[in-house]
Structure 1
Amino acid sequence: MTAQPTEATLPAAAELSSSTAKLKRRGRGNSENDRAKVPWRTTLRRDWQLYSLLVLPLLFLLVFKYLPMFGNIIAFRRFRPGGSIFGDEWVGFKYFEMFINDGKFWQVFQNTVILGGLSLLIVFPMPIILALLLNELRSPKFKKLVQTVSYLPHFMSIVIVAGMIFQLFSMQGTINQIVEAVGGDPVSFMQRPDWFRTIYIGSEAWQTVGWGTILYLAALTQIDASLYEAARIDGANRWKQTWHVTLPGIRGTMVTLLILNIGSFMAVGFEKVLLLYNPLTYPTADVISTYLYRIGIVSSNFSYATAIGLFESLIGLTLILSANAISRRLVGTSLW
């Protein structure tokens, strides 16, 4: 026979259970406090192998990212080759006034903004679309094949990619051979400014779209399968499941990468533009990074180039801070 609880024992049992819960909360709080009170020297001594892995990355950041910042002082000082590395005399905002009043700089600035905007509008969404399409495939072999084919261009050198572009779009290239075969006249794609942006954005999408899907595919695996089952029970088709379940599930990844891309909005690919452009395509192809290369390295006007580079960096910093603040306020996701 099992003893039934009486009215006299119920308050005692309730009091005992509440006391036990208090002890558990108190014990948990004490353990958290004890963990928080562990001195950092003890943690460093205990996990020194893990912390030692940070030495090389921190040295890299210090030597190649932070120490060069001191060189920005020559944007306000006249620098002469062979003189002091921090400039010979103070000139204030002279070099900033020079590029603000220079019409050539604003043409380069406009080209940079247009190429950066096209990259955000066209190149950025393509990995998301490809990841969603790959997620719908039911054949594992075909999915692996598509992934492999789309990943390969990322591992090609930019020099090789530029060579392939010249091979395709030159006067005797593959595209013009096809045009002539159908009775058309060959087009000088690489010498016409109006074709440069199309070629650049197309090659950028081809080279980066496959590699960009990796993060999104990893994010898709973290979505709870029960959400899709609940959506199907509610009568949602595949499109509605994608819109109401899949996209919200990877929203954090999309917003994070979007903020990072906006931060590098002005840093349009220097290497590819340098390899593809020529004086005939300067009106649409010349960007800030290539302009800085010609002004600073080729012409040795280091102070003027530093002033332009500092201006570009301030714009990038403003963009990433603004995008992060807007995302935190509207979406609730941000980098910090």
Structure 2
Amino acid sequence: MDSIKKSASRIECVYSTNILGGGVRLENTAIPSSPAVPLKARHKRPFRKTWRLHLMLLPAVLVALVFKYAPMPGVIMAFQEFKPWLGVGGSSWVGWDNFKLMFTMHDSVQVIWNTIFISVLKILFGLVVPVTFALLLNEIRHIALKRSIQTLVYLPHFMSWVILGGILLDLLSLDGFANRLVTAFHLEPILFLGDGNWFRATVIVSDLWKEFGFSAIVFLAALSGINPALYEASEIDGAGRLQQTLYITLPSLLPIIIVVFTLSLGNVLNANFDQIFNLLNPLVLEKGDIIDTYVYRTFQGGQYSLATAVGIFKSAVGFVLISGGYYFAYKVANYRIF
């Protein structure tokens, strides 16, 4: 196909699109904008004009201080043989022994692997499915239908795993609705929550069903910010919906996709304690036990030092992964998150 070049909308900048060999290439011939306001001038706003905004932040700051920063001195327990009746000051120091014990226990490697396996799949599907859903929902032009779908997929996010866990236990039991549907096709009943492999699949799918609608909000917001002139210019040059999606929509979503993916890397060792705790049972302990449920059991057994060491290990790995993801985002996409 011969190259086609036509002028498009000229608001702040002029965009031209070329269709060459079935692709769409965007060229930015921007008109120089007005001088930017200095950063210091923009941020220099009297406190008396913004005190209400600061007041709205106060509850979140207090929660962070009380539940995140106040317990931090407790990390000392990871380097002690902590005894509650002796306290932090009276307990003996053991150095790195608790961290060594964490990796030498017979089930520690399996627990870490279970956590990574479940978390990575949740992160991947939790990014692909919301983006796909946002793209499909954005194509709906009937406003009432679009809002109805949004409401239906958002609602599960606001349900606790205590409630959803009970619902899933009932639906996926041997005589539940799911197995009645399976046996209706003359198939053997499935132990969704009694077989290790089926348990992992159930955990991933149920978490995706609960969260994908709410996770799509940020992508829908990004889609609404794409310049309509780009689509108009591409239509003039003969681009179809698929070409517009591949060469306009997805590149425009790339920055927010990178942000979401980078921030989610910190959850690689966090497979959602609430969900696993409410669905886990002894039959699937080998395939479904994760670090958080393991730490919970160590606390119940009075192993406070070991549980603290595991928590520090999780935090350190999350920090390294987020830092590495930020560096990757900057090098590959030349995009800074902060």
Report the counterpart of residue 91 of structure 1 in structure 2. Answer: 94
- In the TM superposition, residue 158 of structure 1 has moved relative to its aligned partner by 1.1
**Percent identity, aligned pairs only?**
35
- In the TM superposition, residue 247 of structure 1 has moved relative to its aligned partner by 1.1
Q: Tell me, yes or no, if structure 1 residue 201 matches structure 2 residue 212.
A: no
**2: CA distance, partners of 1:254 / 1:87:** 49
Report the counterpart of residue 291 of structure 2 in structure 1. Answer: 288
Q: Which has the larger radius of gyration?
A: 1
Sort the Cα spacing of 1:36 and 1:134 in 2 relative to 1 into closer, same or farther, 3 A: closer
- In the TM superposition, residue 187 of structure 1 has moved relative to its aligned partner by 2.5
**2: CA distance, partners of 1:34 / 1:267:** 39
- In the TM superposition, residue 272 of structure 1 has moved relative to its aligned partner by 0.7
Q: Tell me, yes or no, if structure 1 residue 259 matches structure 2 residue 255.
A: no
Write the deviation string for residues 9-61 of structure 1: whole angstroms up to 9, x where unpaired: xxxxxxxxxxxxxxxx9xx99x96995997xxx93355434333333322222
- In the TM superposition, residue 181 of structure 1 has moved relative to its aligned partner by 2.5
Specify which structure has the bigger relative contact order, considering alpha-carbon pairs within 8 angstroms and separated by 6 or more residues. 2
User: How many pairs align?
Assistant: 305
Report the counterpart of residue 326 of structure 1 in structure 2. Answer: 328
**2: CA distance, partners of 1:247 / 1:126:** 14
Decide which of 243, 247, 262 is 2:246's aligned counterpart. Answer: 243
* RMSD, matched Cα: 2.3
Sort the Cα spacing of 1:87 and 1:310 in 2 relative to 1 into closer, same or farther, 3 A: farther
Write the deviation string for residues 86-109 of structure 1: whole angstroms up to 9, x where unpaired: 561111001111112123111000
Compare the two structures and name the one with the higher helix fraction.
1
Give the SS at the match of 2:269.
Answer: coil
TM-score after normalising by structure 1: 0.85
Report the counterpart of residue 302 of structure 2 in structure 1. Answer: 300
The answer on whether the counterparts of 1:71 and 1:86 sit within 8 Å (CA) in structure 2 is: no
Write the deviation string for residues 217-274 of structure 1: whole angstroms up to 9, x where unpaired: 1111110000001111222110110111111112221111111111122111001101
Report the counterpart of residue 226 of structure 2 in structure 1. Answer: 223
Sort the Cα spacing of 1:96 and 1:256 in 2 relative to 1 into closer, same or farther, 3 A: same
The aligned amino acid for 1:221 is S
Decide which of 168, 171, 190 is 1:168's aligned counterpart. Answer: 171
The aligned amino acid for 1:335 is I
The answer on whether the counterparts of 2:76 and 2:88 sit within 8 Å (CA) in structure 1 is: no
Sort the Cα spacing of 1:138 and 1:279 in 2 relative to 1 into closer, same or farther, 3 A: same
**1: CA distance, partners of 2:83 / 2:311:** 18
Report the counterpart of residue 315 of structure 1 in structure 2. Answer: 317
| Map 1:143-182 → 2, pairs under 5 A | 143-182=146-185
**1: CA distance, partners of 2:185 / 2:51:** 69
Higher alpha-carbon deviation: 154-163 or 278-287 = 154-163
Sort the Cα spacing of 1:70 and 1:331 in 2 relative to 1 into closer, same or farther, 3 A: same
The answer on whether the counterparts of 1:123 and 1:201 sit within 8 Å (CA) in structure 2 is: no
Write the deviation string for residues 144-175 of structure 1: whole angstroms up to 9, x where unpaired: 22112111211222112111211221011112
Sort the Cα spacing of 1:34 and 1:302 in 2 relative to 1 into closer, same or farther, 3 A: closer
**2: CA distance, partners of 1:171 / 1:34:** 65
The answer on whether the counterparts of 1:112 and 1:268 sit within 8 Å (CA) in structure 2 is: yes
**1: CA distance, partners of 2:42 / 2:151:** 46
- In the TM superposition, residue 280 of structure 1 has moved relative to its aligned partner by 1.1
The aligned amino acid for 1:324 is Y
TM-score after normalising by structure 2: 0.84
| Map 1:9-28 → 2, pairs under 5 A | none
**2: CA distance, partners of 1:175 / 1:196:** 14
**2: CA distance, partners of 1:323 / 1:87:** 41
Give the SS at the match of 1:124.
Answer: helix
The aligned amino acid for 2:262 is I
Report the counterpart of residue 107 of structure 2 in structure 1. Answer: 104
- In the TM superposition, residue 185 of structure 1 has moved relative to its aligned partner by 2.6
The answer on whether the counterparts of 1:74 and 1:87 sit within 8 Å (CA) in structure 2 is: no
Report the counterpart of residue 6 of structure 1 in structure 2. Answer: none
**1: CA distance, partners of 2:117 / 2:89:** 34
- In the TM superposition, residue 141 of structure 1 has moved relative to its aligned partner by 2.0
Report the counterpart of residue 15 of structure 2 in structure 1. Answer: none
Report the counterpart of residue 4 of structure 1 in structure 2. Answer: none
Report the counterpart of residue 7 of structure 1 in structure 2. Answer: none
The answer on whether the counterparts of 2:191 and 2:198 sit within 8 Å (CA) in structure 1 is: no
The answer on whether the counterparts of 1:194 and 1:284 sit within 8 Å (CA) in structure 2 is: yes
The answer on whether the counterparts of 1:131 and 1:217 sit within 8 Å (CA) in structure 2 is: yes
Sort the Cα spacing of 1:236 and 1:61 in 2 relative to 1 into closer, same or farther, 3 A: same
Q: Tell me, yes or no, if structure 1 residue 50 matches structure 2 residue 50.
A: no
The answer on whether the counterparts of 2:131 and 2:216 sit within 8 Å (CA) in structure 1 is: yes
**1: CA distance, partners of 2:328 / 2:67:** 31
Report the counterpart of residue 187 of structure 2 in structure 1. Answer: 184
The aligned amino acid for 2:95 is G
